[in-house]
Chains A and B, each alone.
Chain A
């Protein structure tokens, strides 16, 4: 089973600032099959990025994913009010179990 470790646990930033979220895998993620999700309080997760770097339909271009192998990054170039949320990475490069990281909360400084 691939374990995903997200850091930091909480990121305190101001609107307009850049956010950099990390997701590290315990072993290489095949074909860079790594997705990112955003979850607002009381809501279901929303897909942001798949294949490590491809934005999902309708996702603003201020969100970008990068990385390969065991190290992946989600960058939000300029935080907007709606971006303060919890973010999860998920690997789908190996047969089940599919695994999620523990999450990074981006909150308002």
Chain B
């Protein structure tokens, strides 16, 4: 059974940093691209960042480019999102999602339950 479990969310002040983790199991992690997708309270889904199967290729939305860094450790079956210079509009539930398709054209067949990040003073 595929499982994606996010951790590391919480309350952070504007300008601060936070690192999210996503522990994957139930599939061959190093065969698939992975992404982070977020959802602000009461809003729709927004793709944030993605990485290919080996972490060499990374992609970002314009809204987080230069502030967030995606990475993965295939030896630990874990995906990360380092979030720096956080702003109030980064407040959202952050989902880890398993990508299917030819890098970087992914759709997402499995999702984690999400980690809530609140940016507020």
Contacts and interface: CB of A to CB of B under 8 A. Distances in A.
Q: Do A and B come from one complex?
A: yes
Interface of A: 33, 35, 37, 39, 43-47, 50, 56, 88, 90, 92-103
Contacts of A50: 100, 107, 109
Interface of B: 35, 37, 44-47, 50, 59-62, 95, 100-101, 104-114
A88 B107 contact: no
Main secondary structure of the interface of B (DSSP, over half): strand
Say what secondary structure dominates the interface of chain A: loop
Contacts of B47: 90, 96-100
A97 B95 CA distance: 16
Contacts of B112: 44
A92 to B, nearest CB: 5
A89 B51 CA distance: 21
B103 to A, nearest CB: 10
A2 to B, nearest CB: 12
Q: Which of B107, B108, B109 has the most CB of A within 10 A?
A: B107
A44 B59 contact: no
